[in-house]
A and B are shown apart, each in its own frame.
Chain A
Amino acid sequence: DQQVKQNSPSLSVQEGRISILNCDYTNSMFDYFLWYKKYPAEGPTFLISISSIKDKNEDGRFTVFLNKSAKHLSLHIVPSQPGDSAVYFCAASGVSTGTASKLTFGTGTRLQVTL
């Protein structure tokens, strides 16, 4: 059962416009939410995160919004640049239970930023 869902497999946005990537989750015990970016033939790289006590976190062109009641988060990229073209993964975890927190990933959204 997919606990973290990214329902849009792909998204195409013009350079300079806003990209909005969406993610839904089902596990109410998740407390941390992260976005990763992945280029072909490379490992995922950490982009931005948010804890459940916040509803927004901003880092430069990237902003993550969390709506806990709807179990929904989104990543906004403004303005979008061609170098942002990649696969974006949403991930979530609960509070560490003593051994390690484990990230559960969504299926990914491929973003293409066109000129």
Chain B
Amino acid sequence: DAGITQSPRHKVTETGTPVTLRCHQTENHRYMYWYRQDPGHGLRLIHYSYGVKDTDKGEVSDGYSVSRSKTEDFLLTLESATSSQTSVYFCAISELGQGLSGYTFGSGTRLTVV
């Protein structure tokens, strides 16, 4: 969607390799989030950021790390990819970090770990 882009859109990687997904925003929003979508689980929060260098864990953070060195970029790293991390990953941004206004999501990255 306009203002938020994810790269790559698709990736196939081998078990045990590190993988980094990128989320880039042009909205200057303070809050950024990484979710994964899996059948039967909906969207689950992996990590989120509430400012440059300020990050915290979500409900499914094991095996993932994040970094935010600039307002516009939020990186998600799978330190050693496993087949259970095959999923669609969505980045989201929020201006207020408050529930009623909602998040704007990117188009997603489909990751396959073989």
Contacts and interface: CB of A to CB of B under 8 A. Distances in A.
Interface of A: 4, 6, 31-32, 34, 36, 41-46, 49, 51, 89, 91-96, 99-108
Interface of B: 1, 31, 33, 35, 40-45, 48, 50, 54, 56, 58, 90, 92, 94, 97-108
A43 B107 contact: yes
B43 A100 contact: no
B108 A42 contact: yes
A46 B103 contact: yes
Given A93-B99, A105-B43, A100 B48 contact: yes
B50 A101 contact: no
22 contacts: A4-B42, A34-B100, A41-B107, A42-B107, A42-B108, A43-B1, A46-B104, A51-B100, A93-B99, A95-B99, A96-B97, A96-B98, A96-B99, A99-B50, A99-B54, A100-B50, A101-B97, A103-B33, A103-B43, A103-B99, A104-B45, A107-B40
A96 to B, nearest CB: 5
A31 B90 CA distance: 24
Contact of A102 (B1, B54, B58, B104): B58
A104 B35 CA distance: 10
Given A99-B56, A102-B45, A34 B104 contact: no
Point out which of B42, B92, B104, B106 has the most chain A C-beta atoms below 10 A from its C-beta.
B42
Contacts of A108: 42
Contacts of A93: 99
A34 B94 CA distance: 14
A101 B44 contact: no
A4 B56 CA distance: 22
A73 to B, nearest CB: 13
B58 to A, nearest CB: 7
A94 B98 CA distance: 9
9 cross-chain pairs, A with B, having the tightest CB-CB distances, nearest first: A32-B99, A43-B105, A46-B102, A93-B99, A100-B97, A105-B43, A107-B42, A105-B42, A101-B99
A103 B34 CA distance: 11
A49 B107 contact: no
